[in-house]
Structure 1
Amino acid sequence: MTTSSIYTQLTIELKSQEIGLTAAELHGFLSGILAGGNHDETWHILLSDIMNNGQPVTGQLSTLINALHTEIKHQLSESDFEFQLLLNDQTLYSQIDDLVGWVNHLLLGLGLVQPKIGKMKGDIGEAIYDLRQITQLGYDKNEDPEQLAFAFEEILEYVRMATILFHDEFCARIEPSKTLH
């Protein structure tokens, strides 16, 4: 299934169940939970609390979300950096809007599973600071579209790599050590 069709299917299901999240925000939230080190089934509870007033998500939307969670988990755990953000691909402006929502929800997911993340130092602390700045992004439709597209691609890559950094940092802490006999 293509990224565009996944985005479209999620959008349709979210709207049909009157859930006020975009597909990008949902992807960002799940990415934050996973990058923050949550790999057990409690993510369902966190997701229900955030997007459905504590009620479990059911039907086709539940199936899509479970598949998305599995895909994100796989992408983040691979060593080939294949993790990608799920954004609307219609226009540059819709991608920028989605990126801001994605980052906001990444930070929300991270904050829920790593409550002290705002106090971290080093690369993690810098990345959190930068992501908070990215959530303030705006654009002027009179800007040169080529320059705007270039800036967007640079920021997108930074966000992608920051998410991988979080995953590497927080998941390394929870992996059981191997005992040699």
Structure 2
Amino acid sequence: MQELPTADEVAAASRELGLAASAAELHGALCGWLCGDGGDLADWPARVLADPSLPAPPPGSALDRLRQGSAARLDDGEFAFQLVLDDDDAPLHQRAQALFDWCRGFLGGFGLAAGASPPLSEEGAEALQDLGKLAGARVQDIDEDEEDESALSELEEFVRVATLLLHGDCVLGPRHRRRLN
């Protein structure tokens, strides 16, 4: 399976294409698009950022690898999906803000792909609401201690699982139903 690029590689590639999104927000938007059944498309930045003038990332570039690796991990069934966020050695407040940015990007991409009435289970609808709350959150007083570190890890895992749940509702479930018919 294609290795995902780092947040730094995604940020550099984003700047090269003139994109205004952070690495976390861009990955969130891509994952939202994929989870909303927007499709695994080479010209994904134009789609997820709703700007048809954006060029497709060059084959093999960090943004192309981000698309390929993310799509493969969402589809693999082994729960290998992971969020592209700042490195663990970045300050805790920076990593927390990146997670909130990821969620904000996810909601945008998901909304563009899935539309107003996606086929969500009750759990999926709750997960989407919770992602919305995280997307609107702001980093406040963080002590950079073990308790806050643990809380951020739990939030990251929740977002990862919520993403897989939404992908299951909107992509895998309909795909399996089509096979049965």
Q: Please, what TM-score do these two structures have when normalized by structure 2?
A: 0.82
Q: Give the distance between the partners of 1:112 and 1:163, measured in 2 at CA.
A: 16
The CA deviation at 1:63 is: 2.8
Is the CA contact (8 Å cut-off) linking 1:25 and 1:102 kept in structure 2?
yes
Is the CA contact (8 Å cut-off) linking 1:100 and 1:135 kept in structure 2?
yes
CA separation of 1:82/1:71 partners in 2, compared to 1, >3 Å: closer, same or farther?
same
**Superposed CA offset, 1:140-176 (max 9, x none):** 3453622211111111111000000011111121353
The CA deviation at 1:127 is: 0.8
How large is the Cα RMSD of the aligned pairs?
2.8
The CA deviation at 1:49 is: 5.1
1:78 alignment partner in structure 2: 76
1:168 alignment partner in structure 2: 168
Higher share in helix:
1
The total of aligned residue pairs comes to 176
Q: Give the distance between the partners of 2:13 and 2:50, measured in 1 at CA.
A: 13
CA separation of 1:144/1:161 partners in 2, compared to 1, >3 Å: closer, same or farther?
same
Q: Give the distance between the partners of 2:139 and 2:45, measured in 1 at CA.
A: 30
Partner-residue secondary structure (3-state), 1:177:
helix
2:31 alignment partner in structure 1: 31
Is the CA contact (8 Å cut-off) linking 2:33 and 2:48 kept in structure 1?
no
The CA deviation at 1:121 is: 6.0
**Superposed CA offset, 1:83-137 (max 9, x none):** 0000011221111111111001111111111112489561111111111111232
**Structure 1 gap ranges (5+):** none
CA separation of 1:116/1:174 partners in 2, compared to 1, >3 Å: closer, same or farther?
farther
CA separation of 1:157/1:32 partners in 2, compared to 1, >3 Å: closer, same or farther?
same
1:177 alignment partner in structure 2: 179
Is the CA contact (8 Å cut-off) linking 1:34 and 1:73 kept in structure 2?
yes
**AA in 1 matched with 2:179:** S
1:20 alignment partner in structure 2: 20
Is the CA contact (8 Å cut-off) linking 1:35 and 1:170 kept in structure 2?
yes
Q: Which moved more, 1:98-107 or 1:6-15?
A: 6-15
**AA in 2 matched with 1:177:** R
**AA in 2 matched with 1:67:** R
**Superposed CA offset, 1:44-80 (max 9, x none):** 2x62155484213256598322221110111011122
Give the greater-gyration-radius structure (CA): 1
The CA deviation at 1:13 is: 2.3
Map residues 1-181 of structure 1 onto 2, 5 A cutoff.
Answer: 6-39=6-39, 41=41, 44=43, 47-48=45-46, 51=49, 53-57=51-55, 60=58, 63-89=61-87, 90-117=90-117, 122-141=122-141, 143=143, 145-171=145-171, 172-175=173-176, 176-178=178-180
Give the fraction of aligned pairs with identical amino acids, expressed as a percent: 23
